[in-house]
Structure 1
Amino acid sequence: MDLNLQNKRALVTGSTVGIGYAIALRLAREGAEVVLHGRSQGRVDDAVKSITSEIPGARVRGVTADLATDAGARRLSAEVPDVDILVNNAGIYGAKDFEELTHEDWTRIMQVNVYSGATLAQQHLPRMLERNSGRIIFISSESASNIPVEMIHYGVSKAAQSALARGLAERTRGTAVTVNSVLAGPTKSEGVEEFVRGLAKQRNLTESDVEKEFFTLARPGSLIHRFATPDEVANVVAFVASPLASIMNGGAIRAEGGLLKNML
């Protein structure tokens, strides 16, 4: 299927690995001009090299900025002043008991997962509205609805992200601009792979055994009963970013393997 993304300009934050990289790769494969983003110049360079080697002629460049600071988010806005597609994918997570969460923990997770995306949207939404064309997509999580007890601060940040997307969508009323969030489920990204590998080694199990146990005990509601791949999430995001998804606006679009039982 041709997603009609040729000559579209896209910025994907947190795109040197995992879901972000898969999204950037898919958009580049569809003919979009893509700006990759990461915190490390080395990783950004490696990601750019990887995509251009896989897709000869791909128009890809990279920008470094630390979105854990407001200055970093504003620097990224200045470096990439105008795009057709903004994918706010950069995010952090980590298990920590609620009683142990510090003010710094809350500030950091909200800055990276919510505030940085708000800053970038504040930069790009007015330009999109002015030309009556554009897509803003927040990569949220099923944790926005199923708040995980082991990382409540993460779930709160993802719920805020989806609420932000819905609020911004209200500002697009009567235009061809859309703002959506995508609720990704547990995905086999770099961090998850390392966690599974380490746990398997520690408990003398196979990685497949660890995955099965996770979905039996921790996420029994999953209908696919496995981790999603970054490519599977990227396929959904690429469609939402395309002109073919023009009717999808203000939604929390599910790509979580059936974990959420609510139908609406």
Structure 2
Amino acid sequence: MTDLTGKVALVTGGASGIGRASALALAQAGAAVAIADLSPENGEAVVKEIEAAGGRAIFIATDATDEAQVAHMVERTVAELGDLNIAFNNVGRGEVGATIVTTTSEKWDWILATSLKSTWLSMKYEIPVMQQAGGGCIVNMASTAGISPQIAGSPAYSAAKAGVVQLTRFAAKAHAADNIRVNSVAPGLTSTPMVEAWFTEEMKYEVYSKDQFTHRLTRPEEVAAAVVFLASPGASMITGVNIPVCGGLP
């Protein structure tokens, strides 16, 4: 039920962290994968990993907040891999420890662009291709910060990820008749390079020790497993939902 042989998947922010884990997992399930990211070095490294395992992948240098680059990203995916059946819109950035008062206008705009605008832009160009093909599946990257206040989050990031959840539901309803399913995943604090760089051990412990049932960080591969499931035939009746992957964090 998770066989994606013959499918083409696009992963934005696919060069590291959850994006990398998801690109590898989608390829392992049989999909050809386009990896879009700002880092050519890391993106090409993921391509080599997929190819070494017998899969097919390409890298596309992309700023997912730039409309022209997003349009090119989708065009090149179809041109080089032949189709677009699955999209994981994973790009997003946050800020640690900011408050309503300390957040600057510049940082607010940057976080909303990277975490929300990028998701809208990606769907803007992915959906027409999927409509023409008779259907597809989109998974958007939300966060538990978008559904519950997070001690280590920021107002801009929380607002952006809440927006992703609602944008996902809007798109799912609007395009159900096109046979396009749209869902989102909401990880808790995950052991990605960005989290390891930004969070001290004390901060990480504070996030997951009090309310999270499992009392540990989420692994990128655990989020990737949810992405593959939502993209698979096994999730054929699932659309418009946000799936927390957070070990029970409320």
Normalised by the size of structure 2, how large is the TM-score? 0.90
**Structure 1 residue ranges, 4+ long, deviating more than 6 angstroms after superposition:** none
Shift of 1:103: 2.1
Go from structure 1 to structure 2 and tell me whether the alpha carbon gap of 1:111 and 1:251 turns closer, same or farther (over 3 Å shift).
same
Structure 1 stretch displaced more, 121-130 or 138-147 = 121-130
Pairing of 1:22-171 with structure 2 (within 5 A): 22-53=21-52, 55=53, 57-81=54-78, 82-95=83-96, 96-148=98-150, 150-171=153-174
* Structure 1: stretches of 5+ with no match in the other structure: 201-208
Corresponding residue number in structure 1 for 2:176: 173
CA 1:74 to 1:101, structure 2 compared with 1: closer, same or farther past 3 Å?
Answer: farther
CA RMSD of aligned residues (A): 1.9
- Percent pairwise identity: 30
Aligned partner of 1:204 in structure 2 is none
Name the SS of the counterpart of 1:234 in structure 2: helix
Q: Show CA shifts across 1:193-235 (max 9, x none).
A: 2345xx35xxxxxxxx77545423xxx2111110010001111
CA distance in 1, matches of 2:159, 2:203: 27
CA displacement at 1:50 relative to structure 2: 2.5
My pick for the range that moved more, 64-73 or 42-51, is 64-73
Q: In structure 2, what is the Cα distance between the partners aligned to 1:144 and 1:66?
A: 23
Indicate conservation of the 8 Å contact 1:68/1:108, yes or no: no
Q: Find the residue that maps to 2:181 and give its secondary structure.
A: strand
Change (3 A) 1:142 1:68: same
Q: How does 1:178-217 map to 2 (within 5 A)?
A: 178-195=181-198, 199=200, 211-216=204-209
Normalising by structure 1, report the TM-score.
0.85
Give the deviation of 1:110 after TM superposition.
1.4
Larger Rg: 1
Kindly indicate whether the alpha-carbon contact (under 8 Å) linking 1:183 and 1:252 is maintained by their aligned counterparts in 2.
yes
- 1 CA distance for matches of 2:206 and 2:102? 27
Question: Could you tell me how far apart the structure 2 residues matched to 1:31 and 1:130 are?
Answer: 22
Distance 2:204 2:178 in 1: 44
Letter in 2 for 1:162: V
Aligned residues: 244
1:107, distance to aligned residue in structure 2 (A): 1.6
3-state SS in 2 of match to 1:164: helix
Q: Structure 2 unaligned runs (5+)?
A: none
